[in-house]
Structure 1
Amino acid sequence: MYNLKRKFCLIMIMAIMSMTIFTGCSNINPNDTVATLDKKNIRMGVASFMAKYQQASYDQYKQWFGEDMWSKDISGNGSTLTETVKENVLEELEEFYLLDAHKADYNIEDITGDELKSIEKAAEKFIKANTDKAIKQMGTSKEDVVEYLRLYTIKNKMHAAIIADVDTNVSDEEAAQKTVSYVKIETTTTDDDGNQKDLSADEIKALKDKANSILNEAKNGGDLEELIKEDGYSVDTHSYDVNPAKEDSKEGDEEDSEESSTDDTMKPVEEAANALTKEGSYADLVTSDDAIYIVRLDSLFDKEATNDKKEEIVSKRQDDKYQEVLDGWKKDAKWEVNNSVWDKLNFDTPFSITTDETAK
């Protein structure tokens, strides 16, 4: 995953991405110190490049979110988009320099001569593709683009080293997946004001009668996909753990609550399927607060889904190990942000991106 991210990052910059500004000027000095990590000074030019690069990507969505997008709470986390992006940039910047500072812990040397040549070539293309005005507005320089790409290269090397000893063996029992097919028939509707409301009791009864009719025909050998076609419904599939992991603590439950919220909506389907022991068999009609389900057991042990789950488990182990190491370094390091410098950065001046697709 990290190699793909690195490749994407290099390709985007080597593709001669032009950042076009429309108005405004910048009071950002790329030579200023935006932060320090254990007394190591970090240039504002690197942080500004990272932030403005993200801005150029986000600015493409103003047609959907509006011209005041940067002052809105887009993600619903209580922070404006400006605050969120700037916070993310600082977190990534701290991560970059922590990894750089601990290279020796994993016998990682700095970038090679060949890597430096490729990085400098990419940075030169980026600088040449942009006007002096655009570069000044970004508050960056070729030196800063080179430094960003150097840090990104180090990050990939360090990530690989940190997760190298993670156990990649996952048993079938741990990852085993069961797969069902289901038809969801919603028992709610949306009014003219966009509010969701329940259907009437008579409407729900009519839907249940229809669903039972389809279910009975399917149980008698009918093709479920054909049976629902004229009513505009669809058959979806869902794979889930045969042996659900037990949570170790309430803290773990809280940490995983956001990830599992989507799966919780499938609990009625899973519970109905768990009562089935024969592949191809159907459960009785399943009802929930907002829907009626027709459920068919497709596989008691889905090999393909199980293999996907194994990859997911390994990936989580790797992510956990990487984060554990990084958090340990953060705890021991002294990271300070120069707010008087960082506060100067804003996203008031819009950028547009032009990419030369033929450049390599």
Structure 2
Amino acid sequence: MRRIGKKGIVLVLAAIVSAASVTGCGTQLPSDVIASYGDQMIGREEAEFYARYQQYSTEYMYAMYGSNLTGIWDQVDQTTSKTYQEEAKENALTAVLQTEILNEKAVADGITLTEEEQKKVDEAVTEIMQAEPIVEACGLTEETAKSIVTKNAMANKEYQAMVADIDTNVDESEVLHKTMEQISIREKQDNSTEASTENTEQTQEKQQQVDAAAAQLGETIKSALEQGATLDEIVEQYNEKEFNGVTFTVAKRDAFALGKDDSDIYTEQAMQMTQGQVITSSGDGVVYVVRCTSERDENSTNEAIEQELANRRTAMFEEKYAELKKSAKKFTVNEREWEKVVFSEPLIEVSTEETSSSESASSEAETANTTQAADTAPEDTTAANTVAEDTTAADTATE
């Protein structure tokens, strides 16, 4: 299985525009034209490239996790009642339209590509043309590939101009993450016949004993952590050992980042902690002992800041793009020809060896891909942003 490029070709949307905006039935359009934007004709190669890219990206992710590719495009998204193929093709047309609108605005604003950006375009075109599954599926020529990349680069520069004046001041208290580590304490399960035949009164008495012992063990471990004990030492000393007449499963959770929006039972309390402080918390039959190892988790806090800025860029872009669309030219789709674009054969070839090595993670792919075909947009890129990530002219423009 071959990945396209170091990070793959990236053609995504900053804002998924509703399919209803892609309207008009172009029955009079030539058979080699899929859509028109005003007088601008969008040929089969170009439109199908966007669709095949989405097909390839989704299949690649499925294949990475060892999932079977058979029939995936006939699966129905329960939130939209559309097949994944229908959603992918709608998103492809949306990407085409958004690119045309932004590219047109970029030209009107006098935006041009620098010599260095033109060089990046050429590099991206070379990479695209090496993506044989996509190129062969849509009959892509180098000339069309260059047109696609150039319009994407221009449109991305327009996107960057549209979001340039976002407020970059972020209240760190809203995004702060701290570094924690945790010990969890729960009664070791007893599945014996004797345990299952206890009456209600016996069960209640035993639960009270367990709760009291767990709370006491929590305080004991809290004191040990305050004195500098490691999680491994705690687990070795107390896991599956009897304490006050009860045997507990004691497990560790190594360093993790915690923010105020996380759903851990102790989040609110933990966010008030200082470095080295230890707390206990309980719920759902588990006692947690949590130690704060850093009052600022650098990576997670910085990521949260970037995500907040990304959200602001997306919101600003969506607002401005909605206004821009009001004066956009008519977008017409040749539905008869577009219906002929079907994902009948996978673009990805998966070897038996690759499949077997990935099977353990297949459930993750099933979860992740319920939205993949319909939602291709990690925030602050547009349909215009990056063909061949890290090498596009658009990236150069934002550095």
CA contact (8 A) 2:183 2:231 kept: no
Say whether 1:323 aligns with 2:282. no
- Aligned partners of 2:142, 2:80: CA distance in 1, in Å? 35
CA contact (8 A) 1:179 1:240 kept: no
- Aligned partners of 1:331, 1:187: CA distance in 2, in Å? 62
Q: Which amino acid aligns with 2:141?
A: S
Residue identity (%): 23
More displaced 10-residue stretch of structure 1: 139-148 or 171-180: 171-180
- Aligned partners of 1:170, 1:232: CA distance in 2, in Å? 36
- How big is the shift at 1:64? 0.9
- How big is the shift at 1:279? 3.8
More displaced 10-residue stretch of structure 1: 231-240 or 203-212: 203-212
Q: What does 1:30-69 align with in structure 2 at a 5 Å threshold?
A: 32-60=32-60, 61=62, 63-69=66-72
Q: Which amino acid aligns with 1:287?
A: G
- Aligned partners of 2:126, 2:274: CA distance in 1, in Å? 63
Aligned twin of 1:89:
92
5+ residue gaps, structure 1 = 1-5, 13-28, 190-199, 242-259, 355-359
Could you say what secondary structure the match of 1:34 adopts? Answer: strand
- How big is the shift at 1:117? 6.2
List per-residue Cα deviations over 1:89-134 (Å, max 9, x = no partner): 122212211110111454312x456655664575467558859xx8
Cα distance change, pair 90–207 in 1 and its aligned pair in 2 (3 A):
farther
CA contact (8 A) 1:74 1:81 kept: yes
- How big is the shift at 1:146? 1.6
CA contact (8 A) 1:31 1:43 kept: no
- How big is the shift at 1:340? 1.6
- How big is the shift at 1:160? 2.4
Aligned twin of 2:254:
235
- Aligned partners of 2:278, 2:110: CA distance in 1, in Å? 57
Say whether 1:283 aligns with 2:301. no
- How big is the shift at 1:169? 2.9
List per-residue Cα deviations over 1:50-89 (Å, max 9, x = no partner): 2223323433435513411111247876432212321221
Cα distance change, pair 206–77 in 1 and its aligned pair in 2 (3 A):
farther
- How big is the shift at 1:339? 1.8
- Aligned partners of 1:128, 1:304: CA distance in 2, in Å? 35
Aligned twin of 2:270:
273
Q: Which has the higher contact order (CA 8 A, sep 6+)?
A: 2
Cα distance change, pair 296–114 in 1 and its aligned pair in 2 (3 A):
closer
What is the number of residues matched between the two proteins?
298
Say whether 1:159 aligns with 2:156. no
Say whether 1:336 aligns with 2:332. yes
CA contact (8 A) 1:59 1:350 kept: yes
Could you say what secondary structure the match of 1:234 adopts? Answer: strand
Q: Which amino acid aligns with 1:326?
A: Y
CA contact (8 A) 1:181 1:296 kept: yes
- Aligned partners of 1:105, 1:311: CA distance in 2, in Å? 30
- Aligned partners of 1:80, 1:301: CA distance in 2, in Å? 44
Could you say what secondary structure the match of 2:341 adopts? Answer: coil
- Aligned partners of 1:223, 1:151: CA distance in 2, in Å? 59
List per-residue Cα deviations over 1:4-31 (Å, max 9, x = no partner): xx9955799xxxxxxxxxxxxxxxx997
Cα distance change, pair 224–106 in 1 and its aligned pair in 2 (3 A):
farther
- Aligned partners of 1:186, 1:73: CA distance in 2, in Å? 41
Cα distance change, pair 205–297 in 1 and its aligned pair in 2 (3 A):
farther
CA contact (8 A) 1:30 1:43 kept: no
CA contact (8 A) 1:208 1:292 kept: no
- Aligned partners of 1:318, 1:164: CA distance in 2, in Å? 8
- Aligned partners of 1:50, 1:11: CA distance in 2, in Å? 10
- Aligned partners of 2:174, 2:277: CA distance in 1, in Å? 25
Cα distance change, pair 278–56 in 1 and its aligned pair in 2 (3 A):
closer
- How big is the shift at 1:332? 3.5
Cα distance change, pair 101–160 in 1 and its aligned pair in 2 (3 A):
same
- How big is the shift at 1:161? 1.9
Task: Return the TM-score normalized by structure 1.
Answer: 0.65
Aligned twin of 2:217:
213
- Aligned partners of 1:207, 1:151: CA distance in 2, in Å? 65
CA RMSD in angstroms, aligned pairs only: 4.3
CA contact (8 A) 2:280 2:287 kept: no
- How big is the shift at 1:314? 2.3
List per-residue Cα deviations over 1:139-171 (Å, max 9, x = no partner): 433332122211221133223222222232334
- Aligned partners of 2:187, 2:160: CA distance in 1, in Å? 49
- How big is the shift at 1:176? 4.2
- Aligned partners of 2:147, 2:96: CA distance in 1, in Å? 11
- Aligned partners of 2:252, 2:84: CA distance in 1, in Å? 38
Aligned twin of 2:304:
309
Could you say what secondary structure the match of 1:233 adopts? Answer: strand
Cα distance change, pair 353–106 in 1 and its aligned pair in 2 (3 A):
farther
5+ residue gaps, structure 2 = 12-28, 190-202, 240-249, 351-390, 392-399
Could you say what secondary structure the match of 1:349 adopts? Answer: coil
- Aligned partners of 1:76, 1:185: CA distance in 2, in Å? 39
- Aligned partners of 1:82, 1:186: CA distance in 2, in Å? 46
Could you say what secondary structure the match of 2:94 adopts? Answer: helix
